[in-house]
Structure 1
Amino acid sequence: MAKPLTERLPINEMKIVSEDLHILDLPMLELGQDFLLENAEGNLVGWVSMDDFVLKLFQYTKELSAVYDTLLTNVEDAIAITDINGNVTAWNRKSEEMYRLKKEEIIGQPITNFFEKEALILLSTMQTQLGVNQHYNQPRPNVHVLINSAPIYVNNKIIGGLSIERDITDMVKLNEHLSETTAYLHDLEQNVNGDAEPSFQKIKGRSTKLQEAITLAKKVASTDAPVLITGESGVGKELFAEGIHQASKRNKKPFIAINCGAIPNALFESELFGYEQGAFTGAARGGKKGKFDLAKGGTLFLDEVGEMPLELQVKLLRVLQEKQYYRVGGTESIPFDVRIITATNRDIEQMVLDGRFREDLYYRLNVIAIHVPPLRERIEDVPALVQLFLKEFSFKYSTPAPHIDSEVMYAFMQHRWKGNIRQLRNIIERLVILGSDTDTINAKHLPPNFFESQQTKLTEPLGESTPTIEDTSHSINKEQIVSALDKTYGNRSAAAKILGISRATLYNKMKKYKLN
């Protein structure tokens, strides 16, 4: 756009600006005034006439308008823009669908002609000069949105407001169905089991660490003390929570589980506490029950409690202290009769130190702490778990349970199991599917990356740190050896690991007891 300098230019009458300025950043010029361009060194490098400037500005405005129209048309969020007086200047296709208002009906009109002023987040952001993020709203029955809204500034002056609304209806409905299904399954299980003795039978394993955790869980089950269950992802923390509930005096009432990491922050309060009719625009007629209501008299399991927003931690703490709560938009207190069990795979104590989890709530929830050990710390439980999952998936896929080759079982005993029981279960499901045409599962059926995290190669002997015959062999009898060999499908290295002796000691014992 710039032209070269000539001697005929009236330089003294022209405005001087930087050559790096964007067209929208150029100062307001007097009508008919041309201007000079200077570089960073202060040297004049060209000039622009007012006619060229106006033509360029017009072209830029057309391009900007095209981008603006394309964005409004193609974005999947509902977008509304008003001027400083609240008159609608933009209303895109998604807004038409969400609010059933055509663009032609609302553009140029005061937005308060169509919506109650008190319910308009967009107007309040202009009044308060503060943006709003992730505000939950129901524009009409069975439609759920999260609203982000902010004032629009030009030269530090508010000229309007912008509202962007994301439809989360599918997510909300899925979460509601999950809650209803959880409650239904619990009731169904209660009907099937009748008055059966509560137990922790779903938790499989005989390792010392696991049994210590189960013993502690059984001991606290008879009380209403809050329990915090810790452990890596996939170790079975929810099974412990269910076991505590089933062994408690609340076992005839619902067990409701909620994953704190799977709920948007804006929905958290209404999910836990529920809401009353008219709590917000479009709230369902009659309101909606929250998890506290669904779990009344029973147990509420808050999984991944470390993901709970700080502002909701305050409200949960108040409920635990006052033994009552209010629904969103409600004025009447509701007695709180729910046992709280929480779980996390995070370092909550460190989160407290970092200010990401309230210390007072932590002590409220951590009356009894139960740590579920990772699978690598109870590797002797792997054979029993393998058998359990083989039966489960053989039944699911209507196929005979395959035999696990001793080499594969040995590989299982050596694996690190970063995904714990969940990872083992998924692998067994894979083996049942891929091994449906064979009687024996061998190494070729394992995932390609399975051996990347292997502690030792299949052919590598166990380390010399294994206890010697002088340490433990005196306490091992024939029945224990037979049981270990049975669990490991005859793999002597794996059996020796279960028994806590060296392979040489096992061979000697087998010879002594005449075991082939």
Structure 2
Amino acid sequence: MRLHDCLKLVRAEGIDPAYFPKIKDEWQRFLAGEKVNKQMVPSEVIESWERSRSYGIDPYGTDPHPVNLSGKEYKKLQEILNKYGFFFERIVELVEQDGLTLYLNTVDGLNYHLFRSGGMSGHASLGHCNEKTVGTTASCLAKLYNQPILLVHPYRYSQNYTQNHGVSAPIHNEKNEVIGALGLGFEDPRFCLQAYSMISFIAQAFDSLYLPLTNGYEKHMQKIIDCMPHGVAFVDERDTVQLYNNKILELLKIRRKNNIEGELNKQLARLGVGAGFRDKQEAAVTCAEIQVDNEKPYKLILLKDRLEGRKPGIFPSPEGEGKGLFTFDQIIGESALLKEAKKVAANVARTSVPVMIHGESGTGKEMFAQAMHCASPRRNGPFVAINCGALPGELVESELFGYEEGSFTGALKGGRIGKVEAASGGTLFLDEIESMPLKDQIKLLRVLSTGKVQKIGSTKEIQVDVRIVAATKIDLLKHADDGLFREDLFYRISTFIIELPALRQRKEDIGALAEYFIKKLALKYDRGKIKMDPVFVDALLRYYWRGNVRELEHAMERAIIMLEDGETLMLEHLSPGIQQAYRKRTVEKLVAETVQTTSHRQGLLELAERRVIEYVLELVDGNQSLAAQQLGINRRTLYTKLNGKSNSGREVLDA
């Protein structure tokens, strides 16, 4: 077996964990002087183990690599960081994610962490890391064999000083000499394939500082960037796209047709990464302008999947359940009520206690649940959501708890795991939990009590470790008093109750939300800069928003569609309901101001009436027919009121 054969062991969800104990058994045989099964352990790893043993490395050692550096070593490291710092800074933006460490390992074996997640275990951020100090590592083998390396933890010679798996790839100077290796450390074996693709791309991007985009090299690079989870494009000094992957076309909604490069150039220029780019980051776009010596500069563009306002992890969670989750930083608003809700949620996120989120429809209950998951120790596990109200009652049980093959008519061959089991190690979000049938509430209560789940048609219980976050828009305790929800389950899932404010309770956030939706929808509909008229903003602030943030988003989308070719959103672009509500509240305000500012009560009614008429006339640009229609009176009555004459006859209302 050779080291590159390890990639064949990697499935979509990572290397089978059952493989690891077998490798450790072979490692122990090696330490005992017995023959190692070469079908289980790559020959390169066995050779590295032999060298590590000859260097006297303690296979059970727990001490990190030494950090006593000579002045010469430190100077050499500093030269590399100074020369290539611009590149490392950009790459950190790509891997800046919980659960990852990005490091540089020099040709002399000096290790330096470029980025390290706060939750990562492992060695110091600076020190010696080579076979002579710590034994077998990914970076040692990458430099030795001059190729990208995937090294799962059991392949390490000294297995106690870190529990991380590793990938590493060599980097070269202008003479194509190996000057070190870049590597990623991570704890979750499910990330092996993605990490290998990513570090291969990063190393190739580094080497491209010296290699022109020849046909052969371009072909090689294309294969690499097609594996990337983000959109990637290379742009030359004329701001012309030379290389790109399918992901960037997907994110920018560019269909496969003629002149793809032209459309891509246009879209990137609109995002601010074409001509005139000045080293900035806009929304989901990162662009690095790179120039080496006197060569012509080019740009490396990374487009992350955040166009919908979501920040995905670098690696997708199993079955895609955790992809594109919100974080607390992305919950927009500075109102006191929202800040308090975020504070409570952030505090409780650090624990595993069940949480109940209470709020009206459209207040962001699932957004908060996702943010709590991302801020929790379970962040690298799955986030699984189920809307109990969206499923027929008879299907809730099978969806939640799963079933065995043949357990009922229509059951899938091989059975199916339930959402509870799928969420093990992570978070299960139960939206509209008040809709869960009582019989299923009993089974959920047992899961919470025992930490075990039993599939339909099975007698076996499966151990699960899941954090429950439930959400409701009703008074769940009253629901329990009415016999529609189990009171014991209520107290189980409501250790913490987080109250989300309605949008009308935090009107100071409406402006920021509207601006956010404009940016998001402008991308969706390929629009330029869009402004809001003050009256438009005032209408948003005065509206009741029964549907909360969701209703606001829909209102903004309608307005942008109705805007057509214009640049400024006006009152008439809003729905008739919002326009009518705005005019009604404006009239109420006019009447109230008239009452407050008029000292003489005699003639107060006529004065208030006249101000209302003047306001309506202003709205319709002086058109008396339209004004009469808006006021619900006929034109003759309006004329009489405008001229201050009493109308002896009874007002005739328009039909």
TM-score by length of 1: 0.51
The AA in structure 2 aligned to 1:442 is M
Shift of 1:439: 1.2
Higher normalized contact order (CA 8 Å, seq sep 6+, divided by chain length): 1
Structure with higher Rg: it is 1
Is the contact between residue 420 and residue 466 of structure 2 (CA under 8 Å) also seen in structure 1? yes
Paired residue for 1:26? none
- The residue that corresponds to 1:380 in the other structure is 508
In 2, are the aligned partners of 1:410 and 1:458 still within 8 Å (CA)? no
For 1:286 and 1:401, the matched residues in 2 are separated by 53
The answer on whether the counterparts of 1:434 and 1:445 sit within 8 Å (CA) in structure 2 is yes
Contact persistence 1:325–1:334 (CA under 8 A): yes
8 Å Cα contact 2:311/2:326 also seen in 1: no
Partner of 2:432: 304
Q: Deviations over 1:398-450 (max 9, x none)?
A: 11132110001011111111110000000111111111311111111111111
Query: Any idea what SS the aligned residue of 1:228 has?
Result: strand
Contact 1:213 1:372 in 2 (8 A): yes
Using the alignment, how far apart are the partners of 1:206 and 1:282 within structure 2? 50
Provide the aligned length of Structure 1 versus Structure 2. Answer: 278
Query: 1:462, CA displacement in angstroms?
Result: 11
1:431-510 matched pairs, under 5 angstroms: 431-454=559-582, 456-457=585-586, 460=589
Distance 1:309 1:452, change over 3 A: farther
Which residue among 465, 471, 475 is the counterpart of 1:337?
465
Residues 1:290 and 1:188: Cα distance change in structure 2 (over 3 Å): farther
**C-alpha separation in 1, matches of 2:378 and 2:536:** 43
Residue 268 of structure 1 aligns to which amino acid in structure 2? V
Distance 1:462 1:419, change over 3 A: farther
Q: Distance in 2 between matches of 1:199 and 1:407?
A: 33
Determine which of 265, 272, 275 is the counterpart of 2:400.
272
Larger deviation: 363-372 or 449-458?
Answer: 449-458
Partner amino acid, structure 2, of 1:457: T
> Paired residue for 1:318?
446
Whether 1:236 and 2:338 are equivalent positions in the alignment is no
Change (3 A) 1:444 1:459: farther
Mapped partners of 1:388, 1:462: distance in 2: 34
CA distance in 2, matches of 1:463, 1:444: 25
Q: CA deviation at 1:243?
A: 0.5
Pick closer, same or farther for the CA change 1:462–1:253 going to 2, 3 Å: farther
User: Which residue in 2 is equivalent to 1:419?
Assistant: 547
> In the TM superposition, what are the counterparts of 1:56-75 in structure 2 within 5 Å?
none
Cα 1:385–1:458 shift into 2, 3 Å: farther
The 1:388/1:314 distance shift into structure 2, 3 A limit, reads: same
Alignment of 1:28-47 (within 5 A): none
Partner of 2:229: none
Q: 1:391 maps to what in 2? A: 519
CA contact under 8 A between 2:311 and 2:327: conserved in structure 1? no
Alpha-carbon shift at residue 330 of structure 1 (Å):
1.0
Q: Is the 8 A contact 2:522 2:529 kept in 1?
A: yes
1:292 alignment partner in structure 2: 420
Asked if 1:214 is matched to 2:337, the reply is: no
Are the aligned partners of 1:276 and 1:286 in contact in 2 as well (CA < 8 Å)? yes
Query: Which amino acid counterpart does residue 331 of structure 1 have in structure 2?
Result: T
Q: 1:447 and 1:282, CA in 2 relative to 1: closer, same or farther beyond 3 A?
A: closer
Mapped partners of 1:305, 1:198: distance in 2: 21
Range 313-322 or range 362-371, more displaced: 313-322
1:402 aligns with 2:530: yes
CA distance, structure 2, for counterparts of residue 447 and residue 428 of structure 1:
10
Which range moves more in the overlay, 378-387 or 392-401?
392-401
C-alpha spacing 1:224/1:367, structure 2 compared with 1 (3 Å): same
* 1:419–1:360 Cα change, 3 Å: same
Q: Tell me, which stretches of 5 or more residues in structure 1 are unaligned?
A: 1-184, 465-516
> Cα offset for 1:289?
1.4
- Displacement after TM superposition at 1:347 (Å): 1.2
2:335 partner letter? S
| CA drift at 1:311 | 1.1
Residues 198 and 257 from structure 1, CA distance in 2 versus in 1: closer, same or farther, beyond 3 angstroms?
closer
State the identity %: 44
1:352 corresponds to 2:480? yes
Deviations along 1:216-255, whole A, 9 cap, x unmatched?
A: 0000000001000001001111110001000001111111
Give 1:460 shift.
Answer: 3.5
How far apart are the structure 2 equivalents of 1:307 and 1:372? 20
Report the Cα offset of residue 459 of structure 1.
9.0
Residue 288 of structure 1 deviates from its aligned partner by: 0.8
Describe the SS at the equivalent of 2:411.
coil
Deviations 1:193-233 (A, max 9, x none): 99x99940221000000000000000000000100000100
Q: TM-score, normalised by structure 2?
A: 0.41
Paired residue type of 1:201: D
- Residues 462 and 224 (structure 1), Cα distance of their counterparts in 2 relative to 1, 3 Å cut: farther
Query: Where in structure 2 are the equivalents of 1:139-158 lying within 5 Å?
Result: none
Q: d(CA) in 2 for partners of 1:268 and 1:456?
A: 45
Q: Secondary structure at the match of 1:201?
A: helix
CA distance in 1, matches of 2:475, 2:516: 31
Q: Write the distance in 1 (CA, Å) between the matches of 2:535 and 2:585.
A: 12
Name the amino acid aligned to 2:345: A
- Local SS of the residue matching 1:369: strand
SS at match of 2:506: helix
